[in-house]
Amino acid sequence: MSKHEPPTDEEVQKNVEKWRMKKMIYNMQAAKGVASAGLITLMIPPKNQLALSVKMLNEEFGTASSIKSHTTKLAVCSAITSTLAKLKLYNRTPPNGLIIFCGNIMTEDNKEKKVCIDIVPFKAVTRANYICDNKFHVDELFRMLEDDDRFGFIVMDGNGTLFGSISGNRRQILHKFTVELPKKHGRGGQSALRFARLRLEKRHNYVRKVGEMATQQFITNDRPNVVGLILAGSAEFKNDLVGREADLFDQRLHPIVMKLVDVAYGGENGFNQAIELSADVLSNVKFVKEKKLLSEFFEQIATDTNLYCFGMEDTVRAMEMGAIKTLILWEELPHKRYVCTCPSWDVPREYNITEAMADKLNIFKDEDGKEVDVEVDDFVEWCSINFKKFGCKIEFVTNKSQEGSQFVKGFQGIGGILRYKVDFVELAEAEKGPCSDEEEQDGGDDYCDDDFM
Q: What Cα–Cα distance (Å) separates residue 295 from each residue in 228, 254, 270, 392?
A: 19, 20, 35, 19
How many CA atoms lie less than 13 Å away from 387 in the CB half-sphere? Answer: 23
Burial code (b: 16+ CB inside 10 Å, e: under 16) for 314-330 equals: bbbbbbeeebbbbbbbb
- Tens digit of each residue's pLDDT, the chain (453 residues): 455 566 677 778 878 888 888 888 888 888 888 777 788 999 999 988 899 999 999 999 888 888 888 888 888 899 999 999 999 999 999 988 999 999 888 877 778 888 898 988 878 888 888 998 888 888 878 777 766 678 999 999 888 999 999 876 668 899 999 988 777 655 555 566 776 778 788 888 888 899 999 999 999 888 898 888 999 987 788 888 887 555 788 888 988 898 899 998 888 888 988 888 888 787 666 777 788 889 899 999 999 888 999 999 999 999 999 999 999 999 889 999 999 998 888 889 999 999 999 989 888 888 888 888 999 999 999 999 999 999 999 999 888 778 889 999 999 999 999 999 988 888 777 766 655 444 444 444 443 433 323
Q: Nearest to residue 253, comparing CAs of 277, 226, 234, 278?
A: 226
Predicted model pTM? 0.64
Q: Which residues contact 405 (CB under 8 A, 6 or more apart)?
A: 399
Which of 116, 117, 119 is CA-nearest to residue 94? Answer: 119
d(CA 41, CA 55): 16
Instruction: Name every residue whose Cβ is closer than 8 Å to that of residue 365 and which is 6 or more positions away in sequence.
Output: 371, 372
The answer to whether the beta carbons of residues 206 and 194 sit under 8 Å apart is no
Identify whether the C-beta of residue 198 lies closer than 8 Å to the C-beta of residue 231.
Answer: no
Query: How far apart (Å, rounded) are the C-alpha atoms in residues 352 and 395?
Result: 19
Q: Which amino acid is at 361?
A: L
pLDDT of residue 134: 86
At residue 307, what is the residue type?
L
Q: Do 57 and 138 meet the contact criterion of CB atoms below 8 Å apart?
A: no
Q: Which domains does the chain have, with CATH numbers?
A: 9-145 (3.30.960.10), 150-181+201-283 (3.30.420.60), 289-422 (3.30.1330.30)
Residue 310 has a pLDDT of 93
CA neighbours within 13 Å on the CB side: how many for 230? 26
First to last CA, the chain: 37
CA quadruple 395, 400, 403, 408: dihedral sign: positive
pLDDT of residue 246: 57
pLDDT in tens, 134-176: 888 888 787 777 666 789 999 998 889 999 998 766 688 999 9
Query: Judging by DSSP bridges, how do beta strands 160-167 and 150-157 pair with one another?
Result: antiparallel
CA dist., res. 182 & res. 265, Å (int)? 19
Q: Given this model, what pLDDT does residue 435 score?
A: 52
Residue 190: predicted pLDDT? 59
Task: Say if CB 149 and CB 167 are below 8 A apart.
Answer: yes
